[in-house]
Structure 1
Amino acid sequence: MSERTAVVLFTRDLRVHDQPALAAACSAFDRVVPLYVLDPALAGLSANRSRFLHQSLAELREALRRRGGDLVVRRGDPVAETIKLARKVGAEGIGLSADVSRYARRRERRLREEAERHRMFLRLFPGVTIVEPGSVKPTGGDHYKVFSPYHRVWQGAGRREELAAPRRVRLPDGVDPGRLPAPPKGDSPDAAPGGESVAQRRLKQWLPTLGRYDDIHDDMAGDLTSRLSPYLRFGCLSPLAVANRADDWTGPFVRQLCWRDFYYQVTAAFPQLSSVAYRRGATEEWRYDPQALDAWTEGRTGMPIVDAGMRQLRAEGWMHNRARLITAGYLTKHLGLDWRPGVRVFSRWLLDGDVANNSGNWQWVAGTGNDSRPYRGFNPVRQAERYDPDGAYVRRWVPELASIGGKAIHQPWRLPDEARRRLDYPPPLEVPGTDPTWLR
């Protein structure tokens, strides 16, 4: 009997533990080709994420080699390169983790068409989320538009079993694994490194603080959030495995993982989330002010808490979730600028930037998305006084204000008249427990 071969195309699932496509292929086939295709079309989107990606691929290659296999690396169009390799090794089929962005769905559609044309099968696997997009739906709709009812159903939804890493991965003979380029230089000097082992260490080190999560997650200076979001974005960690380690499906941290799933099911139903207002009839009367946008981007608006957040973003490729809400609210509700450039700025710098969470949260803050209270706002002075009461976060990232004491550090030191007027709008509708998350 001839040996059976399958290709596993890695995308945003760069791990060997709880990787359903890899586990299924290793169980059902004699030979497995783990493949990653570097798509030049994505190479210039974010230097930070490119570095993180290459670091994660290098770790994945080592993990596969320890199991007798390798990560085969190709460069070019993912569909063409996958089909070319699959034909060369005589593969029966291709495994792929399901994803929701327009890019991912277009890749899936083209790959399915080409696989069928060459008499192969394409099988999609879960793993990017905990509960698969579309697996729970409201009566009479294709997705949940409001988080709270989704969260209630999500908690009771059936979940797959977490899978162990395969013990052995066997490549077909004669396959050239290809060269993995050295990680490129990122833009943020203090960005976290990528990789599954780094992610697992981070999770293990952070878990002892989980019991205090509800008390510490909004402490901006304390910096005690998980910082797992980049590893979830690239699939260095399985979100299901993270939730299982937390072991509290009703707790506040797993609720943040649910927010992540929520935006994936929104994006699956509304793939243009990064460019089109989600809420029908949303008012979009934005100003055009490139100087204000530049000042916001570079952390020199004169609003200390906003500038601190934007400077952290540029230095680390990451920003505290509370700072993301404040900075996004400042751009849209105070400066009156369009949320779409904000999406692009965050996407350019964030290690965890993805279509679903980045765009979904931006639209929530801007009042064009899933928030049931679209006129909600975040007054930056009040937010700073509440979540950075002694100014330690601001002093860390805006050192020119280090000598200012007490709450005075949170007062704007230079602001355009337009922004000053906007600071006086009615108190924001802040409802405890309803804020979204970019995952912390």
Structure 2
Amino acid sequence: MTDSARTSIVLFTRDLRVHDNPALNAAAREGAVVPLFVLDPKILNGSFNRPNRARFLLESLTDLAAALEKRGAGLVIRRGPVAEEVAKLAKAVKASSVHMAGDVSAFSHRREDALREALDPLDCELHVHDDSLFVVPPGQVTATGKTHMSVFSPYHRKWEKEHRRAPLSPPRKLSLPSGVKTGKLPTAGEISKGKTAPHMSEGGETAGRKLFSKWLEQRAEGYADDHDDLAGDRTSRISPYLHFGCLSPLEVVTKAWDIAPAFTRQMAWRDFHAQVLAANPRSTRDDLRPRHDRWRTGKDAEREFKAWQEGRTGWPLVDACMRQLVDEGWMHNRGRLVVGHFLCKTLYLDWRWGAQFFVDHLIDGDTANNTMNWQWVAGTGTDSRFNRILSVSSQAERYDSNGDYVRRYVPELADVDGPKVHAPWKLPPDVRKKLDYPEPIVDVREGNERFLAARGKR
């Protein structure tokens, strides 16, 4: 039952949905609701804001505004420092509480602290809902005497046994206090200027729910056997919608639990990385487990890094993955492992270079997942086999055996038949000359040996 005399603000951050949104539901139970999104200059002017995510964010906000309007309360847009704008609005509507999703980055913690300080003089309480962005919130699954778990398999076993609440239905009706102006939605250019990926996904809860439902019906049952097949692509592709909170991870896991256990295991990785970052906030820049690497620098390193960025390394599988990233703002999970290992271990270049390039292009450039995945492939994170090396040729043979994935993204090689596409340097010289495709920038065996020598282990 609601108390019509009370007014609450819902501060949307990375939970841009009405289904299974604990913050929104809690506010709706209290009385009148002011749904709020603040365009924070610290984010808009920061190093994490990029054109692909700006467009996806705008589409997600547009979809959220429409869903809220159907329920009686439009989305209020404000521009400025978050704590200042929330406090200003709370004072104007005499709000008794502010509800928001809990997050794990150092930035989100600073935002919470600033909000509490700004709201305290107004006698307005801040409620942080830790179950909005994760299936199992950070800190809930721990090892004895520790703040978090640093090995995935035992974490996953505990994660599976944790009690999960039932997903929440969206509020049927919302009441916006009279006199509150919603403000105008921004344009994508206002959020971030620049070109977006030509074939990126459409943002928003509506698109995300449709995509996930289709995957559940048509492709989920074969996920365990085929999720690494690059050309077949049985992945759900919902990671951008999870990053922006257009889909609830809890609802996703609940629906997929009995159909695709291998998929829910991947969802557990999200929570695992979140709790690692929450306990080690400096790991966005610092090695979680230093290996005393002397990453290569200088002109040769920069030239090879540029070739990696452009998908011109001469290794077709690596190049196909990198071109998919630039074309779609997304990359197959197996591809992320391949290009990460190639950059950090074959080229022996700093994982932070790769992580930033992913941030520049990935729609799902999640701070915890992106950082901890890069640290994992670099051997500076939670991988116990920190000198692990993936063979590009073996990965190509196993996950793109006929070369269909490479031909899809590397048009120079579109006419090369079958698995030969993975080794164009073996083609006759006259054929190679016509391809306009570069020679390999590195001998993989020599590069891997260089890495092992640098790590002090041959």
TM-score range, shorter chain: over 0.9
Contact 1:379 1:423 in 2 (8 A): no
Q: State the match for 1:398 in structure 2.
A: 410
Q: Map of 1:166-181 to 2, 5 A cutoff?
A: 166-181=171-186
- C-alpha separation in 1, matches of 2:344 and 2:295: 8
- C-alpha separation in 2, matches of 1:318 and 1:253: 18
CA deviation vs aligned residue, 1:134-160 (integer Å, no higher than 9, x gap): 011101211000000100000111222
- Offset of residue 381 of structure 1: 1.2
- Offset of residue 123 of structure 1: 0.6
Among 182, 191, 209, the residue aligned to 2:187: 182
- Offset of residue 39 of structure 1: 1.4
Among 274, 287, 300, the residue aligned to 2:296: 287
- C-alpha separation in 1, matches of 2:449 and 2:407: 25
What residue ranges of structure 2 are gaps of 5+ in the alignment? 426-438, 453-458
CA deviation vs aligned residue, 1:345-373 (integer Å, no higher than 9, x gap): 00110010111000010000000000011
Q: State the match for 1:243 in structure 2.
A: 253
1:161 aligns with 2:166: yes
- C-alpha separation in 1, matches of 2:98 and 2:125: 6
Identify which range, 391-400 or 415-424, moves more after superposition.
415-424
Contact 2:224 2:260 in 1 (8 A): no
Structure 1 residues 186 and 195 mapped into 2: Cα distance closer, same or farther (>3 Å)? farther
- Offset of residue 283 of structure 1: 3.0
Three-state SS of the structure 2 residue aligned to 1:189 is coil
Q: State the match for 1:232 in structure 2.
A: 242
Contact 1:16 1:64 in 2 (8 A): yes
Structure 1 residues 18 and 373 mapped into 2: Cα distance closer, same or farther (>3 Å)? same
Among 121, 125, 137, the residue aligned to 1:117: 121
Contact 2:347 2:442 in 1 (8 A): no
Q: State the match for 1:77 in structure 2.
A: 81
Q: State the match for 1:207 in structure 2.
A: 216
- C-alpha separation in 1, matches of 2:451 and 2:53: 39
Residue identity matched to 2:414: A
- Offset of residue 248 of structure 1: 2.3
Residue identity matched to 2:271: D
The percent of aligned pairs where both chains have the same amino acid is: 49
Query: Taking structure 1 as the reference length, what is the TM-score of the superposition?
Result: 0.93
Three-state SS of the structure 1 residue aligned to 2:282 is coil
- C-alpha separation in 2, matches of 1:295 and 1:426: 19
- C-alpha separation in 2, matches of 1:136 and 1:233: 21
Three-state SS of the structure 2 residue aligned to 1:297 is helix
Residue identity matched to 1:287: R
Structure 1 residues 338 and 48 mapped into 2: Cα distance closer, same or farther (>3 Å)? same
- C-alpha separation in 1, matches of 2:96 and 2:173: 20
- C-alpha separation in 2, matches of 1:259 and 1:190: 27
- Offset of residue 424 of structure 1: 6.5
Residue identity matched to 1:27: R
Query: Taking structure 2 as the reference length, what is the TM-score of the superposition?
Result: 0.90
Q: State the match for 2:95 in structure 1.
A: 91
Q: State the match for 2:44 in structure 1.
A: 43
More helix by share: 2
Contact 1:43 1:50 in 2 (8 A): no
Contact 2:53 2:362 in 1 (8 A): yes
Q: State the match for 1:105 in structure 2.
A: 109
1:338 aligns with 2:350: yes
Residue identity matched to 2:33: V
What residue ranges of structure 1 are gaps of 5+ in the alignment? 428-440
- Offset of residue 244 of structure 1: 1.1
1:321 aligns with 2:295: no
CA deviation vs aligned residue, 1:390-423 (integer Å, no higher than 9, x gap): 0010111111012223332212641235656125
Contact 1:220 1:393 in 2 (8 A): yes
Contact 1:273 1:356 in 2 (8 A): no
Three-state SS of the structure 1 residue aligned to 2:283 is coil
Q: State the match for 1:52 in structure 2.
A: 56
Contact 1:155 1:249 in 2 (8 A): no
1:196 aligns with 2:205: yes
Q: State the match for 1:132 in structure 2.
A: 137
Three-state SS of the structure 2 residue aligned to 1:375 is coil
Q: State the match for 2:434 in structure 1.
A: none
- C-alpha separation in 1, matches of 2:370 and 2:19: 26
CA deviation vs aligned residue, 1:194-238 (integer Å, no higher than 9, x gap): 000100100111102211101121110112210000000000000
- C-alpha separation in 2, matches of 1:34 and 1:257: 28
Contact 2:220 2:234 in 1 (8 A): no
Please give the root-mean-square deviation of Cα atoms over the aligned residues, in Å: 1.8
Aligned length: 425
Three-state SS of the structure 2 residue aligned to 1:386 is helix
- Offset of residue 183 of structure 1: 3.4
